[in-house]
Structure 1
Amino acid sequence: MTAPAEPVPAPGPAAEVTEGDMAPRFPRLRKLFYQRRGFSDSEKTAAALLLLATVIALIWANLPGSSYDEFWRSTISLQVSGNGITLDFRSLVNEALMTLFFFVVGLEVKREFALGELSDWSRAVVPVSAAIAGLAIPALIFLAFNHTGQTSHAWGVVISSDTAFLLGALAIVGPRLPGHLRIFLLALAVVDDVGALAVIAIFYTDQLHFLPLVIAALGLVVIWMLRWLRFGQGPAYLVFSLVVWGALYASGVQPTLAGVAIALLIPVYSPRRMDVERAAELSRAFRQSPNPQYAQAAVRGLLSSVSVNDRLHTLYSPYTSFIILPIFALANAGVHLTGPTLAAAFASPLTWGIIVGLVVGKFVGITGMTVLVKTLKIGVLAPGLTFGRVAGGAALSGIGFTISLFIIDLAIPDPVLQDEARVGVLAATVIAFVLGWAVFRIVDKVQPPSRMSLVLARPVDPKRDHIKGPVDAPMSLVEYGDFECPFCSRATGSIDEVRAHFGNDLQYIWRHLPLTKVHPHATLAARASEAAALQGKFFDMAPIMFSHQDALELDDLLAYAVTLDLDIDRFEEDMRSSDVVNRVRDDVIDAELMDVHSTPTFFVGGKRHFGPYDAATLIRELNESRTDRPVTPAPR
């Protein structure tokens, strides 16, 4: 019998660099944000800045005098030979700066449909259906309140959720372990944004001028062709993007749509090995002979190895999240909250149509469609994504801040009615936040998160899981592991002994949990195993990687694939495919949902195993888990 493998310490605060003995400032606020895994600091910061800008706008707008309105009515003009444009500061924000925001949204849409959550229809059908219902039902509710008159044209105000606020609110009041809920809401937000942009283009464009529209179309054709330009892509994209924006502005089409149209033409792809190797060769040449020519070539090589979509998204996302959206809130959220304004707003069908449309419409539309699609078995929910969690996310989706305020300016010309509409948007934001908090608290009481960590989140699926042994075996042993983890490598001896002991009475299942903080090559190795699995060699590739844990670079993995007689081109392509990337990520999210954060972690008969994982201990627990026949004694 093999010796018990050493327990692996759970990666956590003890494994991280501490900040010293000094007590952190604002400990309660830090705890509120940082106890929830799965959210980046940038998402939390972006939501906080958006909220701060909104508060400043409200305070500024209600100071004595009219400095707020006077400032945003100030104009700026650009004239060339008597021709040009003149915009006030608010229009400059809404029609120029927000073009960059919609450009980043377009990049995200393109990437999600090409490589992300929406690339596989079977995975996307639930959030796509829920998003469509979340667009239509709020609009119908709004029209029930405002079916006649000029306010009926403002139904677009209630159709879209604010992604930045939504993710920020989810980080604050959502479940501590968001699991697949965050991915679900991101996918839903992408479809939501597409629908909102289509509505702006179709229903909020007053008149069209043909010649500028033709110029814009030609500019988009040129932008599409720039992917083959070898040098000067950046300046060329900038120049022709400005041409498209100016032409759309002159044509009468909402010019911010230029951002989306341009983004959808930007190429996106996973890094190709030949490009990465070329970049490495150029960098090596520069290191051996540092000179300006080699430096420029190395920079170009590094940039060309990553898709333009990825480069531009990384470059501009911080500007839109931390600068443009807060400025937009500052320019549009300033409502005069006087007694008469509030009295008029809360007696107005416009205000109530927005509040009920956003809060009730989003909640009912998203939750109801999710239940319907799941009940009809058109789509499936990811493990741990219960109807309760979806309902909490649907409630938070009633935060329709950015695009709602944007459409108010397009749909409602009367300043008084605009204030009533803004009151409705702000009230809906607060109510949706509170409703989301209440739903999540109720769900946590009905099904405490602690229970979810004790059982397997996703049942064993022969069509998906990597299984050794009969699929109908009376006992199951699931391992969440990491190919770069030495403890997982040592545990293979225990597993082999357990399998030999039970024979065909046991099915062994491997799932991925790459601990990237301590094992930088673990994710790449996990993808390599999945690529090998697509050619029927998962359990042939795994032991090779365990035997060479100090050699898991891409070249090493390709060499192992060659020794297994795999189709190397297909293997490399599969490693980058969205199917493989999503499959590894799904296992990681399942582990997070169950609060599994160390490897190896075992589930015996669907229940989490704690303690040693030597062969004798696992055999004893497996015997206790079976109910089909008398137990088989463990070896002594």
Structure 2
Amino acid sequence: MVVRTRRLSDWLRTETGSAALLVAVTVIALIWANLPSDSYAELWHTDVGLSFGEHGVDMSLQHWINDGLMVLFFFVIGLEVRQEFSVGSLRDRRRAMVPLVAGVSGVVVPAVIYLLIAGRDAADGWGVVVGTDTAFLLGALAILGPRLSNQLRVFLLTLTVVDDFLAVSIIGVVYSDDLDIVALAIAIAGLVGLWLLSRTTVWRSAPYVTLVVVVWAATLASGVHPSLAGMAAGLLVPARATERGHVESAKALFRDYWQSPEATVARTARSGLARSISVNQRLHDVLRAPVSLFVVPVFALANAGIALGGGVLTDAFASTITWGVVAGLVLGKFLGISLGAWLAVRAGLGRLPEGVGRGSLLGGSALAGIGFTVSLLIVGLAFTDTTQAAEATVGVLLAMVFAAALGWLIFTRARVKWGETTADLPITLDPPVDPEVDHVRGPVDAPLTVVEFMDFECPFCARTTGMWNDVHAHFGDEVRYIVRHLPIYDYHPHAYLAALAAEAAGEQGRFWEMHDLLFANQAQLESEHLFGYAEQLELDVNRFVLDLESAELAGRIADDERSAQASGARGTPTFFLNGRRHRGPHDARTVIAALEENRDAQSAARRRS
């Protein structure tokens, strides 16, 4: 029973599981809202108040969810946007421009289509069609899209970051009430405080969380919709790449705890571990599961229920609001995103990710028509008339079905007619391991193979972290280890020369010795250091110097780089386990588990044959 519960919990944390949870909650909300009793409406319209001395807040339960809990949802979006700008796809202008243009046009075109259909009488509802529900989008992609679609997924995630940012900005600016200047000034002061805090070396989460609560409370009192406060606060929480030095410091602290398992030492170790990860990443990791498994489902339960009796459904099907929402989300998102991406590529602003063809782009654009979360929130803000709100909600729910169906049709055609079976980088090692060419550590005929594309300045490669040592200690002669060069020229200026030095040492039968020596001295890879390492290994230094300029060795490194391109390796370290690219964490425990699973599968296949 415990195992089944854990499996269910793990499944719900996947993109497919979270989307299925939202569908289930939506169905429950619709059934509940159409029961003979009025319990659904009575519950969500129950007044709940909080008072602090003479001050207090009194709102319905639904408003507490929409203006309180949902701030966490938008705060997480803000964290994700900051991550993308700091260490993700939006940091690289060439990679960012296509989804940026597509995201903007995917907001403008749906709004125009809605206004053309719904007309002036329901013009306030144009915001309903501007947002995409990321959770539903990724869940639908996992179910309906190509079997391998990671590159398309990253593109759509980047696009929805832009989409969500614009949608939240629209909510905060267009759908805000009368302003309270004093409260607004406090909120702005809180945001300034967050900005100043991000410029310091403060690494603890508590000061950031305290200021975020202040900003939310002040924004709620100011009349500006709190979603904007959540997004703005998330944008101001700093994100950075993890540095090797911080990781090594944390490792030393945990070594202290291993030697002296006391409470004070454990607290210091925990602090050191937290310090090694940015505040943004830590808050995102803590909030992501509660938001996807609790906040958004509760929001759906409180907002998706519509009483369909009394001719509501008939009126909705005859309403320009309903069909304006449907056309805006389904047709508008599809046209806006696909045309925006096409125009950006044609204008030379960037290109689509590798492995993403036209069918994948069109299918992903169609799935972006699933608005749901943001759409339902704006329905409650844009329409004070309950009939119009019900018509718009029906439109949002219909758009989910039509967008998913359109996406499925396009992905099916792309697979059958255009041969687009994947939307991802290659996952198979190309060319396979050749002991006559590759450098092999361990038995040449070992049943398990680990291939690493590495860079001698990479702070997280296997030799630096010690991962390979643990894997070898576990499997012994059952595993062999091969490295191929992938110098990252933009960030590691000495990596190419170090690769040449390793190959030059290999010409004298000392590749692995030089390999280990270079990784042990990653901060000292200038020419004079390399010559010193050659002397330390008692190489023929004159031959070593000549080999550094050898066209043959340069060609060998170029062959490895071409292999990386053909195999889907775009950074270091990238690992291939028995010829298949490994995804996810590459710590020794994870790699060992993957290899054992691979070994078990091989044994089962031999037994069957």
Distance in 1 (CA, whole Å) between partners of 2:128 and 2:115 is 11
Aligned CA distance change for structure 1 residues 512 and 387 (closer, same or farther; 3 Å): farther
Distance in 1 (CA, whole Å) between partners of 2:71 and 2:64 is 10
User: In 2, are the aligned partners of 1:383 and 1:457 still within 8 Å (CA)?
Assistant: no
1:177 partner amino acid: L
1:66 partner amino acid: D
1:407 aligns with 2:365: no
User: In 2, are the aligned partners of 1:131 and 1:189 still within 8 Å (CA)?
Assistant: yes
Distance in 2 (CA, whole Å) between partners of 1:437 and 1:230 is 48
1:111 aligns with 2:87: no
User: In 2, are the aligned partners of 1:481 and 1:511 still within 8 Å (CA)?
Assistant: no
Who is 1:124 aligned against?
A: 96
1:349 partner amino acid: T
1:45 aligns with 2:17: yes
Aligned CA distance change for structure 1 residues 75 and 178 (closer, same or farther; 3 Å): same
Cα deviation, 1:567-622, whole Å, max 9, x if unaligned, reads 99xxxxxxxxxxxxxx989963799xxxx985399xxxxxxxxxxxxxxxxxxxxx
User: In 1, are the aligned partners of 2:426 and 2:567 still within 8 Å (CA)?
Assistant: no
1:340 aligns with 2:340: no
User: In 1, are the aligned partners of 2:168 and 2:227 still within 8 Å (CA)?
Assistant: no
Q: CA deviation at 1:415?
A: 1.2
Which of 289, 302, 326 is the equivalent residue of 1:331?
302
Highest relative contact order (Cα 8 Å, sep 6+), 1 or 2? 1
1:88 aligns with 2:68: no
SS at match of 1:426: helix
Aligned CA distance change for structure 1 residues 533 and 351 (closer, same or farther; 3 Å): closer
Give me the TM-score of the superposition, normalised by structure 1: 0.71
Distance in 2 (CA, whole Å) between partners of 1:542 and 1:77 is 70
User: In 2, are the aligned partners of 1:480 and 1:600 still within 8 Å (CA)?
Assistant: no
Which of 101, 117, 127 is the equivalent residue of 1:145?
117
User: In 1, are the aligned partners of 2:187 and 2:214 still within 8 Å (CA)?
Assistant: yes
Distance in 1 (CA, whole Å) between partners of 2:528 and 2:178 is 59
Who is 1:297 aligned against?
A: 268
In structure 2, list runs of 5 or more residues that go unmatched: 441-451, 472-480, 531-562, 582-609
User: In 1, are the aligned partners of 2:44 and 2:62 still within 8 Å (CA)?
Assistant: yes
Which of 474, 485, 492 is the equivalent residue of 2:438?
492
1:599 aligns with 2:579: yes
SS at match of 2:239: coil
Distance in 2 (CA, whole Å) between partners of 1:451 and 1:249 is 45
Distance in 2 (CA, whole Å) between partners of 1:190 and 1:100 is 16
Q: CA deviation at 1:287?
A: 2.4
Q: How much is the aligned-residue C-alpha RMSD, in angstroms?
A: 4.0
User: In 2, are the aligned partners of 1:488 and 1:599 still within 8 Å (CA)?
Assistant: no
Give me the TM-score of the superposition, normalised by structure 2: 0.74
2:493 partner amino acid: Q
Cα deviation, 1:467-511, whole Å, max 9, x if unaligned, reads xxxxxxxxxxx97479xxxx46664279xxxxxxxxxxxxxxx97
2:335 partner amino acid: V
User: In 1, are the aligned partners of 2:485 and 2:499 still within 8 Å (CA)?
Assistant: no
Cα deviation, 1:28-75, whole Å, max 9, x if unaligned, reads x9xxx99xxxxx952122111111111110111111111110010112
Who is 2:568 aligned against?
A: 588
Q: CA deviation at 1:295?
A: 1.8
Who is 1:206 aligned against?
A: 177
Distance in 2 (CA, whole Å) between partners of 1:251 and 1:388 is 46
Cα deviation, 1:187-210, whole Å, max 9, x if unaligned, reads 111110111011112211122111
Q: CA deviation at 1:366?
A: 1.0
Q: CA deviation at 1:263?
A: 1.0
User: In 1, are the aligned partners of 2:370 and 2:404 still within 8 Å (CA)?
Assistant: yes
Aligned CA distance change for structure 1 residues 407 and 587 (closer, same or farther; 3 Å): farther
Q: How many residues align?
A: 505
Who is 2:538 aligned against?
A: none
Aligned pairs for 1:464-479 (under 5 A) are none
Q: CA deviation at 1:372?
A: 2.1
1:286 aligns with 2:244: no
Who is 1:186 aligned against?
A: 157
1:198 partner amino acid: S
Aligned pairs for 1:236-635 (under 5 A) are 236-338=207-309, 340-449=311-420, 480=430, 487=433, 491-492=437-438, 529-530=487-488, 534-535=492-493, 537-538=495-496, 540-541=498-499, 544=502, 557=519, 559-560=521-522, 562-565=524-527, 588=568, 598-599=578-579
Distance in 2 (CA, whole Å) between partners of 1:284 and 1:272 is 19
User: In 2, are the aligned partners of 1:179 and 1:385 still within 8 Å (CA)?
Assistant: no
User: In 2, are the aligned partners of 1:532 and 1:541 still within 8 Å (CA)?
Assistant: no
Cα deviation, 1:407-450, whole Å, max 9, x if unaligned, reads 01111111111111100000000000001000110111112356
1:413 partner amino acid: T
Q: CA deviation at 1:540?
A: 4.0
Aligned CA distance change for structure 1 residues 115 and 565 (closer, same or farther; 3 Å): farther
1:154 aligns with 2:125: yes
Distance in 1 (CA, whole Å) between partners of 2:78 and 2:178 is 24
Distance in 1 (CA, whole Å) between partners of 2:528 and 2:71 is 47
SS at match of 1:256: helix
SS at match of 1:133: helix
Distance in 1 (CA, whole Å) between partners of 2:284 and 2:384 is 34
Who is 2:560 aligned against?
A: none
Distance in 2 (CA, whole Å) between partners of 1:222 and 1:103 is 16
Aligned sequence identity (%): 38
Cα deviation, 1:218-241, whole Å, max 9, x if unaligned, reads 222223333477789333333322
Distance in 2 (CA, whole Å) between partners of 1:283 and 1:217 is 41
Aligned CA distance change for structure 1 residues 80 and 364 (closer, same or farther; 3 Å): same
1:154 partner amino acid: G
SS at match of 2:212: helix
Q: CA deviation at 1:285?
A: 2.2
1:126 partner amino acid: V
In structure 1, list runs of 5 or more residues that go unmatched: 1-21, 35-39, 459-477, 495-509, 569-582, 602-636
Aligned CA distance change for structure 1 residues 350 and 376 (closer, same or farther; 3 Å): same
1:67 aligns with 2:39: yes
Q: CA deviation at 1:82?
A: 2.9
User: In 1, are the aligned partners of 2:453 and 2:569 still within 8 Å (CA)?
Assistant: no
Who is 1:79 aligned against?
A: 51
User: In 1, are the aligned partners of 2:190 and 2:215 still within 8 Å (CA)?
Assistant: yes
Who is 2:206 aligned against?
A: 235
User: In 2, are the aligned partners of 1:76 and 1:88 still within 8 Å (CA)?
Assistant: yes
Distance in 1 (CA, whole Å) between partners of 2:141 and 2:528 is 44
